[in-house]
Amino acid sequence: MSATHQPEAVAAAAPGPCVSSLHFAIALFLAVIRGLSAEDSVSDTIFCIEAVHLDHNRPNLLTTEINSLEVQEILLRKPTLTAPPSFLAKLQLEVVFDRSEVTSTEENGKSKNEEEFWRLDSFGGIKILWPSAAAKESVPEIYRKTLEDYLKTRLSGHTKAYALASIQKKGIRPAVAEQSLLILLREYPDVPYSCVKKATRKIGIDPLPRATEYHVVDGPIVWVFSVSTQQNSVLVERADAQETDERLAPKFEEARQEARTRLEQRGIKPKLGYVHAYWPELKKVLKEKHGIVWRSRGELNPYVYD
């Protein structure tokens, strides 16, 4: 691991399976509560523990998407669709932000602040509202499952284009000779092969021995895959896609150094928990000195870093 990345790794748990104990406990509790509650006959709750709330996956945008012929064609696997299927008339489906698990009934209703809640809330999923219980039951199971997969992909931070490609190309794998890439595609079959690029400059925290790093840049986020052929395993974390821009690399390095210097001047030195001081300082330096609005690893991987 290079010295430039070391301060960010001090308090970082391994990406993927390592989850903050508090967040995990809350997520588990919410899952149990949902499982014990009566099923809503006109809605489906989709709770994605890896959800990242961004401008491009707001509920109102997802509503427009899933009612469009472009998306319905892919969900139904009918490339020549000219009208909505009989069980689904245009604009009958609605996606809403589901904050019922963590807010009072009064706060949970629709309001002019719903979009602001979407950007700020760390918990809560979404609900698909069907026109009626009968309409919901009439929908083919395969359609409902594919729709759920699509929305989970979007909730995780991926763009519409990526989510559609993931459905279309799932299971289609060209012959590749590189063992590390084979492992990645095996562990993540929903990742379109064409989106995967081998890193020319590592930006991820690399906890695996002799790992090969791959990037999937999609919109404002890059998915960083560390693949170990020695351990036959893959770790993944999300990062701000600006970190992959070679033109910005010198600015990021300069900002990292200044952030460390500022913290050191205040008596804050690298130790367990250092990132919780380092990331806000780095965000501040990037904004003030370079005009870069940056998302930290903690923001994009809320259940990984503690």
The more confidently predicted of residues 138 and 232 is 232
Q: What is the pTM of this model?
A: 0.80
pLDDT value of residue 108: 45
Region at 236 (left for phi over 0; alpha for psi -120 to 50; beta for the rest): beta
Q: 253-262 burial string, b = 16+ CB within 10 Å, else e?
A: eebbebbbeb
195-215 per-position pLDDT tens digit: 999 999 999 876 677 899 999
Compute the distance between CA of residue 129 and CA of residue 118 in angstroms, rounded to an integer: 17
44-81 per-position pLDDT tens digit: 888 787 888 888 999 999 999 998 888 988 888 877 77
35-47 per-position pLDDT tens digit: 444 456 788 888 7
